[in-house]
Amino acid sequence: MARRRCGLTIGGYALLMVVLLLLAVLSYGGFTYSEFQRVRADVETASMVAARDEIGEAMDREMRSALALAARYASWDEVMQQLRAPRYYAYWRENRMRDAGVLPPRVVDAEIYGPDGVALAQFDHATLPGQVAIPPPPAYVDYSGEVPSLLVFRAVYSDSVVIGYTGLRIAFVDELRHGYGYRYADPDSILFQPPTTETLTWADLKANVTFALRENPMSEAVTKLLSGTILNLSIILGVFTLLLFPALVFLIVRPLRAISTHIDRLKDSPGGLVLDDLAGILPIAETEKIRESLNAYQSQLVEVHSSLEEKSHELWSMAHHDALTGAKNRRAFEEFMHNLPHVLGDRDIGVCFALFDVNHFKAINDTYGHSVGDQVLKVIGGRISSVLRKGEELFRIGGNEFAVVLLDCDETSALRIAERCHEKIIGHDFSKLGIREPMRISAGLAIAHIDDLEDLQTLQWKADVAMYRAKRPGHANVVMFTEALARDSEGLFSSWVNTAVYDAVVYGKGLEMFYQPIVDLANGNVCHYEALVRIRQDGELIQPSNIFPVIEARRLEVELDRAVIRKVLADLKDGVVCMGTGVSINLSGPTLVHERVCSWLSGFEPFLKDYRVMIEVTETALITQIGLANENLSRLRARGFDIALDDFGSGYSSVRYLSSMPVDVVKFDTTLVQSLKDRGQANMIIHLAQMILESGHHLVAEGIEDQATLESARAAGFGRGQGYLMGRPAERTGLKRISFDNVTPFPNDRLA
């Protein structure tokens, strides 16, 4: 059985997919944001370098501007004027210098020095030194104030002669911040870290600059746009993903669950269920196709189911009826018997089981063909049915066996019905079918009361017993079961007898051969002995009347015959049978037609020079497959075996068969031999015997049990006889004794 695989539901997979999708969206969003931050940091680093470069360039320009300013100031005519006439310097410095427009506002102070480096005048509020070194120092940054300022000194020339110096203090920070355009640096953030000394060169000042990057509107806009885009995208994808789950559930999971539930419902009530609309206003093509296909399949299944029911009914009918006769068959019979107690319920009524068997049906079949046989069965079935009451059914439970269960029926009624059936059959004109022989049936009846369940279960067995008795020669064709019959048929139906027969046939266990002499009626000498089978089980001897029903019922004829052959051969080897006599063996029909029968009997061939070995066959056995049987018998006969037709007169006693059979000896059945004593029948038997004798056969009279019969047989022309009068069947030790006194060796020539 395939192991059932347990997996997630589609809803679980949908949820898992949504969770994975959300994780992917968040991961990708986070990754994109981190990448964006990294690029932004790179841009910021590059911007810092660019900002530092542009500030450095601005400082260079500022320095050049300061130097130009100093040059301009130094070349100002009025500066010359002050150097020529410093008398008015104080007035000029305070009132004119700044108003002349020569010095821009960022020049917070200016000074004029004489050729000795001393300022033309000393002022308390002067921010420039009162004296400078000669020559003055290059421009430097002064940190003495709150903000650094640039001090620039320059010589004043007249006719290439230094006539003095000028000094400017320039507040360059504001100019640096606002006098130049910056793309990267935020000008308001430009600061200079105070050094450890009050002065600093311009070059060193560059290293002290600090600044912040200008807020780049484009970059900020891009940042904002990208951040917003990532956020919005994440939100949109997240919402979409979250919406995806109910959408998946609505569009796929729900229809599939509906389909799954529908299929589960179909298990309980297949067919007829229609799967309605799955997705409502949003149908999915695939699920709709599944739904339509499922409904179509259901529709077809219903049709098939209906057809199957019809077929099943038909099949049931076929399975429960015999196609040939129209009667119910074995299966129906068994079901009927099984259900019988339930059908009858508590009713205390008698149930009669009647079993009908067509006598010698196989011979009819083989003689006239199966078509005729079938017609016979149909006629017999119809005849029996015509006798039955309403509600009573006929069952054909075997090849030529019919059964009827008669309800609410006593022994008298049952016997009457069975006899009417028999009468109906024998009254039918079977010659229309080309059958010349009279058709007979054997009927076995058994009655039980429905309240006795055990009795009911043995009803068929009882009818079987009765029917076997009815089939026995010399018994009525309709037999009611009695306990006495049961005892007589113990062998057939006793389990220990069955076991003993089986062990004897298969393993040779308990199998013993009894020998009955066939004597020459003229001189009383033993011609040969008929080997008769017995089985000894636990010291008790089982008679043939109990052995052969079992053998026939179990189809063990061939096995029994082979066991008998082996046993007789052993007895011959042991010298049980006196030389000069012979032994006859009964072989069944199946053995006779077996392809290997000659090889099985080949073991007797070495004994043929000293013993007469006779194969006894019955006409019933012969007519089964008479062609093949005659062939085998002819072959055996050619090898030296004698062939005897046994029990002639008990069956059909067909002269046509006899004339076509390779038979040396004809053994008249006991019933015929006994009939010799009946003057009415004796004449015909005598003539029959004479006719057979004249056709070249030897005659053996069976069943000679008294002197009168012996004489009659002699008078009728029988040369040999067999019966209790001459000797009962004896076991091998007894055989010696019997044969010893009466032995008269057969002539070496054939009986003919």
H-run or E-run covering 512: strand 511-520
661-634-625 Cα angle (round to 5): 60
Token duo for residue 249? 């559930």
Please tell me whether residue 84 binds another protein under the rule CB under 8 A: yes
Please tell me whether residue 99 binds another protein under the rule CB under 8 A: yes
Please tell me whether residue 232 binds another protein under the rule CB under 8 A: no
Please tell me whether residue 71 binds another protein under the rule CB under 8 A: no
Token duo for residue 390? 């309403």
Q: Which stretch binds another protein (CB under 8 A): 93-101, 147-155, 493-501, 512-520?
A: 93-101
**What minimum distance in Å lies between the beta carbon of 94 and another protein?**
11
**What minimum distance in Å lies between the beta carbon of 78 and another protein?**
6
In this chain, which of 88, 336, 600, 746 binds another protein, going by CB under 8 A? Answer: 88
Binding mask 130-169 for another protein (x = CB under 8 A): ----------------------------xx----------
**What minimum distance in Å lies between the beta carbon of 98 and another protein?**
11
Token duo for residue 493? 């139906």
Q: Which CB, 91 or 507, lies closer to another protein?
A: 91
In this chain, which of 45, 60, 91, 370 binds another protein, going by CB under 8 A? Answer: 91
Q: Which stretch binds another protein (CB under 8 A): 63-71, 92-100, 306-314, 528-536?
A: 92-100
499 vs 145, 541, 544, 560, 590, CA distance in Å?
139, 14, 15, 14, 22
Q: Which stretch binds another protein (CB under 8 A): 76-84, 211-219, 357-365, 431-439?
A: 76-84
Q: Which CB, 16 or 71, lies closer to another protein?
A: 71
Token duo for residue 534? 């017995």
334 vs 329, 346, 626, CA distance in Å?
9, 21, 35
Please tell me whether residue 741 binds another protein under the rule CB under 8 A: no
Distance separating alpha carbons of residues 169 and 108, to the nearest angstrom: 6
Alpha helices in 165-216 (DSSP H): 172-178, 202-208
Q: Which stretch binds another protein (CB under 8 A): 41-49, 88-96, 559-567, 619-627?
A: 88-96
**What minimum distance in Å lies between the beta carbon of 92 and another protein?**
5
Contact 529, 516 (CB under 8 A): yes
**What minimum distance in Å lies between the beta carbon of 118 and another protein?**
18
Q: Which CB, 81 or 671, lies closer to another protein?
A: 81
Phi/psi of residue 653, each to 5°?
Answer: 55, 45
Q: Which CB, 65 or 82, lies closer to another protein?
A: 82
DSSP string, 298-329: HHHHHHHHHHHHHHHHHHHHHHHB-TTT-SB-
Q: Which stretch binds another protein (CB under 8 A): 21-29, 78-86, 269-277, 601-609?
A: 78-86
Q: Which stretch binds another protein (CB under 8 A): 91-99, 521-529, 591-599, 731-739?
A: 91-99
Please tell me whether residue 100 binds another protein under the rule CB under 8 A: yes
Alpha helices in 129-216 (DSSP H): 172-178, 202-208
Contact 315, 368 (CB under 8 A): no
Q: Which CB, 159 or 454, lies closer to another protein?
A: 159
Q: Which CB, 91 or 724, lies closer to another protein?
A: 91
In this chain, which of 23, 41, 71, 85 binds another protein, going by CB under 8 A? Answer: 85
Token duo for residue 37? 């931050």
Distance separating alpha carbons of residues 747 and 740, to the nearest angstrom: 17
Q: Which CB, 110 or 403, lies closer to another protein?
A: 110
User: CA nearest 424: which of 382, 468, 455?
Assistant: 382
Distance separating alpha carbons of residues 438 and 424, to the nearest angstrom: 13
Q: Which stretch binds another protein (CB under 8 A): 74-82, 184-192, 322-330, 415-423?
A: 74-82
Please tell me whether residue 96 binds another protein under the rule CB under 8 A: yes
Token duo for residue 237? 């994808």
**What minimum distance in Å lies between the beta carbon of 51 and another protein?**
41
SS3 437: coil
Q: Which CB, 80 or 608, lies closer to another protein?
A: 80
Distance separating alpha carbons of residues 14 and 22, to the nearest angstrom: 12
User: CA nearest 406: which of 330, 352, 338?
Assistant: 352
In this chain, which of 44, 54, 78, 705 binds another protein, going by CB under 8 A? Answer: 78
Q: Which stretch binds another protein (CB under 8 A): 90-98, 479-487, 599-607, 648-656?
A: 90-98
**What minimum distance in Å lies between the beta carbon of 67 and another protein?**
21
**What minimum distance in Å lies between the beta carbon of 161 and another protein?**
11
Phi/psi of residue 326, each to 5°?
Answer: 85, -10
Please tell me whether residue 80 binds another protein under the rule CB under 8 A: yes
What burial letters (b/e) apply to 27-66, b meaning 16+ CB within 10 Å? eebeeeeeebeeeeeeeeeebeeebeebbeebbeebbebb
| Total chain residues near another protein (CB under 8 A) | 15
Q: Which CB, 99 or 346, lies closer to another protein?
A: 99
Q: What residues pair up with 119 in beta bridges, in sequence order?
A: 113
Token duo for residue 196? 């450890």
**What minimum distance in Å lies between the beta carbon of 180 and another protein?**
30
Q: Which CB, 74 or 355, lies closer to another protein?
A: 74
Q: Which CB, 75 or 482, lies closer to another protein?
A: 75
Contact 571, 577 (CB under 8 A): yes
H-run or E-run covering 545: helix 544-554
Residues that bind another protein (CB under 8 A): 77-78, 80-81, 84-85, 88, 91-92, 95-96, 99-100, 158-159
